[in-house]
């Protein structure tokens, strides 16, 4: 009994002792529960563990001296009975009193009394202050990250962010701070008896990271499983500022280092599986390849025997880096070899993959084994770097051979664009569309036009006859219509009818004779009579050269019968109906498009056309 009373007395004394301790805190919580992040003026981040404590009533405190050092502040212990501490930056100073919520903010001689959310306390011989009081020096935010997978998976349930850049700091992407797992994309491309894995992997980030760690394990494993080289990290990249890249192997050892001072750079780290990137990271883009890619530096044509091909699956593959405005072309004159290729653009907001003002990674897979490919005849793997020959507010011209351009080519292009706008504005297309800067690429082959620009042949640029003007105006119309791409491009008669009729109007505006121009005077009655019983379906499905003849005459009929703005009104209907622009051609979508035509004209528009033109 005596011992029981002694034990009880000891227990009561222990409880009284606990009660005398500051009831504001849990035991010194130095686990990884809370992270402190400091965003510096240049947008880079520093991270700190073990600076944050959570009280028993859920207040967050920070170690005053250690946090001040982390944030570049000056720390002093206080004097006197209620010691506390002082923290300062330049003329700004915070003065804390031990065990008091009251503290003082002074700046340039003025002093202001402040009230903290929690008192300044001493825990484990360390002065602690409420985290929000330091907002006197920097922007400050707290984030609960229990539901944020990136932070939570790294052991953090809360994050305090101080910022020398933002008044109300945002939470940085967790991958920026803790490392990012790069995953490969994989699909099987089937062709004939071949099944080739197409693998791509890339990484991009805008800014805000002073240090990055990219883990390429998944990418290398994907290469390995598909019998591609996996002995290091290779590829090509782009960054607007200077950076340093280190290649790290699976033992954590550095196996290579590159001090990058150019915006475009090769990634070449044999033996690495991780990249550490430091410096001022801004608009960083990296595309990865199983081996070091071939960097194209000048216009060149390779024969298959000139290249050391990869062939893990019976196919023939290789990786290239294309400089700006480089066109890839595969000549296939004698033996037929199918291939597939994929572009990875290394900058943002650029032109289409086929023709781009940034560097690009190009991967090519030929569906044949290397041996017959190398032994075959008639193959040429061509890369042509184009020059920017004209650049004014209206038009850009890229040309790989400028010998054919007439001396007044630029002047005449401006006249063509002006004529198209005069006869087409609010008659075919709206002002936003027609303000688009024209992009022209001069190259061999059939002239084309679409939303990325137009192509014309070198002979078309000498402008020595009316047909050269027609080709430009025709393809320019396709370019303008493509600026707001829509389902009508699946209706060949519609697209070509617009291009032909608007080109004719522009030629007339430029006083170019069109009366004897054969393109506008081809017979049409035989086509109409052969399909008069189902003309609407015929119009919606016709292809080949007949689509040009029917399309031209039908659109001209629309303009003559229902007004010069009929095409414009039809397109407005198309935009409103929101017919899927990139879906495959389907009967139900064809009908929706036909309805758009009828709503802007009349329900019997196709019958009226047949009746009027069947004898022409």
Interval 68-88: pLDDT, tens: 999 999 999 987 767 899 999
The CB density around residue 152, as the number of other CB atoms within 10 Å, is 13
Round the average pLDDT of the chain to a whole number and report it: 89
Question: What pLDDT is attached to residue 12?
Answer: 46
Q: Using the predicted structure, report yes or no on whether residue 351 has a pLDDT greater than 70.
A: no
Which SS3 state, helix, strand or coil, does residue 510 take?
coil
* pLDDT greater at residue 5 or residue 47: 47
Over residues 529-558, the mean pLDDT reads 96
Q: Using the predicted structure, report yes or no on whether residue 428 has a pLDDT greater than 70.
A: yes
User: Which residues touch 375 (CB under 8 Å, ≥6 apart)?
Assistant: none
Q: Using the predicted structure, report yes or no on whether residue 165 has a pLDDT greater than 90.
A: yes
Question: What pLDDT is attached to residue 149?
Answer: 85
Which SS3 state, helix, strand or coil, does residue 600 take?
helix
The CB density around residue 522, as the number of other CB atoms within 10 Å, is 13
Question: What pLDDT is attached to residue 583?
Answer: 84
Over residues 290-294, the mean pLDDT reads 97
Q: Using the predicted structure, report yes or no on whether residue 613 has a pLDDT greater than 80.
A: yes
Which SS3 state, helix, strand or coil, does residue 291 take?
coil
Question: What pLDDT is attached to residue 154?
Answer: 86
The Cα–Cα gap between 443 and 455 comes to 7
Candidate from 150-154, 156-160, 456-460, 609-613 with smallest mean pLDDT: 150-154
Which SS3 state, helix, strand or coil, does residue 343 take?
strand
Report the share of the chain in percent with pLDDT over 70: 92
Domains of the chain: 34-172 (3.30.457.10), 179-385 (no CATH), 390-613 (1.10.390.10)
Over the stretch 247-277, which tens digit does the pLDDT of each residue have?
A: 999 998 999 999 999 999 999 999 999 999 9
Q: At residue 361, what are phi and psi to the nearest 5 degrees? A: -95, 130
pLDDT band at 403 (very low <50, low <70, confident <90, very high): low
Question: What pLDDT is attached to residue 13?
Answer: 46
Q: Give the chain's radius of gyration (CA, Å).
A: 35
Over residues 500-509, the mean pLDDT reads 98
Question: What pLDDT is attached to residue 44?
Answer: 80
Q: Using the predicted structure, report yes or no on whether residue 347 has a pLDDT greater than 80.
A: no
The Cα–Cα gap between 493 and 491 comes to 6
Q: Which of 534, 510, 397, 416 is nearest to 456 (CA)?
A: 397
The Cα–Cα gap between 73 and 3 comes to 56
Which SS3 state, helix, strand or coil, does residue 270 take?
strand
């Amino acid at each position: 009994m005596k011992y029981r009373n002694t034990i009880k007395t000891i227990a009561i004394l222990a409880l009284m002792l606990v009660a005398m301790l500051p009831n504001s805190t849990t035991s010194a919580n130095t686990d990884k529960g809370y992270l402190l992040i400091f965003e510096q003026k240049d947008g880079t981040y520093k991270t700190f563990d073990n600076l944050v404590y959570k009280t028993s009533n859920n207040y967050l405190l920070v170690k005053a001296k250690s946090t001040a050092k982390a944030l570049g502040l000056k720390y002093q212990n206080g004097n006197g009975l209620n010691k506390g501490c002082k923290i300062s930056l330049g003329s700004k100073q915070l003065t804390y009193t031990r065990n008091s919520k009251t503290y003082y903010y002074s700046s340039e001689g003025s002093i202001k009394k402040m009230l903290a959310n929690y008192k300044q306390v001493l825990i484990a011989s360390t002065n602690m202050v409420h985290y929000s009081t330091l907002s006197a020096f920097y922007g400050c935010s707290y984030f609960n990250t229990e539901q944020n997978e990136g932070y939570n998976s790294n052991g953090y349930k809360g994050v305090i962010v101080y910022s020398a850049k933002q008044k109300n700091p945002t939470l940085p992407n967790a991958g920026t701070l803790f490392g990012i797992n790069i995953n490969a994309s994989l699909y099987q491309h089937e062709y004939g008896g071949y099944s080739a894995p197409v693998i791509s992997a890339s990484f991009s980030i805008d800014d805000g990271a002073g240090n990055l760690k990219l883990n390429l394990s998944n990418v290398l494993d994907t290469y390995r499983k598909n019998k591609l080289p996996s002995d290091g990290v290779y590829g090509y990249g782009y960054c607007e500022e200077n950076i340093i890249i280190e290649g790290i192997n699976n033992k954590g050892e550095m196996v290579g280092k590159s001090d990058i001072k150019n915006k475009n750079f090769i990634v070449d780290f044999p033996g690495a599986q991780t990249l550490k990137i430091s410096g001022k990271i801004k608009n960083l883009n990296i595309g990865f390849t199983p081996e070091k890619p071939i960097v194209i530096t000048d216009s060149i044509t390779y024969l298959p025997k000139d290249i050391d091909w990869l062939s893990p699956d019976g196919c023939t593959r290789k990786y290239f880096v294309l400089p700006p405005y480089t066109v890839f072309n595969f000549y296939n004159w004698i033996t037929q070899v199918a291939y597939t290729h994929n572009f990875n653009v290394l900058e943002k907001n650029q032109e289409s993959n086929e023709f781009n003002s940034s560097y690009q990674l190009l991967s090519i897979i030929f569906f044949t084994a290397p041996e017959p490919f190398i032994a075959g005849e008639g193959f040429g793997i061509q890369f042509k770097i184009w020059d920017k020959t004209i650049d004014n507010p209206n038009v850009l011209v890229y040309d790989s051979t400028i010998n054919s351009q007439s001396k007044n080519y630029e002047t005449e292009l401006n006249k063509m664009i002006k004529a198209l706008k005069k006869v087409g504005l609010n008659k075919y297309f709206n002002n936003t569309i027609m303000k688009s800067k024209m992009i022209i690429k001069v190259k061999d082959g059939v002239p084309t036009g679409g939303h990325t620009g137009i192509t014309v042949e070198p002979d078309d640029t000498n402008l020595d006859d009316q047909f050269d003007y027609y080709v430009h105006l025709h393809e320019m119309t396709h370019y303008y219509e493509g600026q707001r791409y829509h389902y009508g491009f699946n209706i060949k008669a519609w697209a070509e009818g617009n291009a032909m009729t608007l080109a004719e109007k522009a030629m007339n505006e430029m006083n170019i004779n069109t009366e004897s121009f054969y393109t506008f005077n081809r017979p049409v009655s035989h086509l109409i009579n052969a399909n008069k019983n189902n003309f609407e379906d015929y119009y919606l499905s016709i292809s080949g050269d007949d689509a040009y003849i029917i399309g031209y005459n039908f659109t001209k009929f629309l303009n003559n019968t229902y007004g010069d703005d009929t095409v414009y009104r039809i397109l407005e209907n198309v935009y409103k109906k929101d017919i899927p622009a990139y879906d495959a051609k389907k009967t139900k979508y064809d009908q929706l498009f036909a309805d758009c035509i009828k709503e802007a004209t009349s329900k019997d528009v196709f019958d009226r056309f047949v009746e009027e033109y069947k004898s022409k």
